[in-house]
Chains A and B, each alone.
Chain A
């Protein structure tokens, strides 16, 4: 399909956004601009051992959430669906909070919180899968209802744990639930992993276009819908589970980024999948950089920043969408 010049420009810009956002995150911090002006060994240490791994973690989480958001919106055929709608973040939160409160009692302090969270997301994925399958046929309504009800159940458990939990860990629990990259450190090799996942989804992009037409129409156009829908469900859940384990339940990225990119590059998933992944990553790196610098030495939860930047950006683009396309 011939790509419009304006869309081409956007895609090139999004590709450049990856190094640009990482560069910004590495040079800007609570001590002001560091790079390339002053490079003492201590500064180098800060940049390469602290800021880069954190920026990589932010990029990976943002990209995964955006990609999972695209998949979840196709799966539920609803542009308002986000990666957390089926209770994955709730399950991850409950287990992470249990990790904060019970790890000491159970003698499980060696088990890092991300693994607790990932276990919670996986359990939720299997629970929704088993309960929603019913008599076997895929049903968007049934999976959505099952997921939303399970999410509500997790919500109640979260409140219970917060109410009964020790005051000392309350702050770190709240930070985790709002999404926090303070302790997230990933090696740049993870970027390659995300690109590999994105390529996998991209190979299925035309099938996603067909699935977005609805279950009946997709079958009539030759998709074996049962297998395809569960495939997308498992993939979207795993992507979300990984993202939540790394940085907690960062809101907004998975909902708004796919929407925003759809306004700019259109509904064709062959463009939407790479655009959303690239934008999601860079967006979260920038949001996290601002979150840790703007009120330094205080660090804001990045989830607050994603919403503060995302809301006006989204409203502006919604207004301009017709002119952009």
Chain B
């Protein structure tokens, strides 16, 4: 599959998603184009993860259509989807001992034929991803011995090695200290800008969304949503409604940040 830069990488049309009794979105239409980094914001339990799973083809929508690089996702097999779309799941649990290098290398799986094996290039990609995530020193360490933050970065490194055009990230900054949050999102942002990828991440840090996201999708619950460029979406009015609490904008003359009002 190839995509012209003007065609959306991921196109969603009149999508309705529900899980149990919760209606996540109703009539959602949006397009993720190359170079765009979307943020998904909403209260706990509003269905951000379910939406991400739907967009990766793992949870069937009740209505609507998803197109990946111009192809109806419902007609694509998992391997084809995995070559073009990858997702960082909210939690990662490793069951067996394996070195970080071995773990990250598994990200190449969709790109290698059934009888093939990883070449020098794949190993180099794995090492580079570990380096980008600040895990170069952990190359030969067991994935079972990593801290929460390290294993988060290991999972992200696996996604980088998978090298998909569309990256879905479910709370990528979980378990990360502020410095690592910024460095990890810098890497993701750089990938999106330099390699004409598209990204969509669910997160709770509004101020990270203002820094990194070009567009935002706000999920209000009961299927209501609002989507558009970040500067239009992230206003005190929208955010106060979104989180059902008073949000205010703090401006020290250099930076503007959102904070929960007293």
A interface residues, Cβ below 8 angstroms from B: 1, 73, 77-79, 203, 206, 209-210, 212-214, 216-217, 219-225, 262-263, 266-268, 270
Contacts and interface: CB of A to CB of B under 8 A. Distances in A.
A222 B78 contact: yes
A217 B92 CA distance: 9
A180 to B, nearest CB: 32
Nearest to B155: A217
Contacts of B205: none
Contact of A267 (B79, B86, B96, B109): B96
Interface in B103-139: 105-107, 109-110, 112, 114-115, 117-118, 123
Q: Identify which of A1, A206, A213, A263 gathers the most chain B CB atoms within 10 Å of its CB.
A: A213
B77 A267 contact: no
Contact of B78 (A206, A212, A224): A224
A206 B109 contact: yes
A203 B96 contact: no
B158 to A, nearest CB: 8
Contacts of B94: 213
Contacts of A212: 95-96
Given A1-B118, A262-B97, A266-B98, A224 B87 contact: no
Contacts of A268: 98, 102
Interface residues of B, number: 33
B12 to A, nearest CB: 18
A231 to B, nearest CB: 14
A222 B79 contact: yes
B102 A266 contact: yes
B15 interface: no
Nearest to A217: B89
A266 B83 CA distance: 27
Interface in B217-245: none
B197 to A, nearest CB: 16
Nearest to B164: A220
B43 interface: no
B137 to A, nearest CB: 17
26 contacts: A1-B105, A203-B114, A206-B109, A206-B112, A210-B109, A212-B96, A213-B94, A214-B93, A217-B92, A219-B58, A219-B78, A220-B58, A220-B82, A220-B86, A220-B87, A221-B110, A221-B162, A222-B78, A222-B80, A222-B82, A224-B77, A262-B97, A266-B97, A266-B98, A266-B99, A268-B98
Interface in B41-82: 56, 58, 77-82
A217 to B, nearest CB: 7
B89 A220 contact: yes
B66 to A, nearest CB: 15
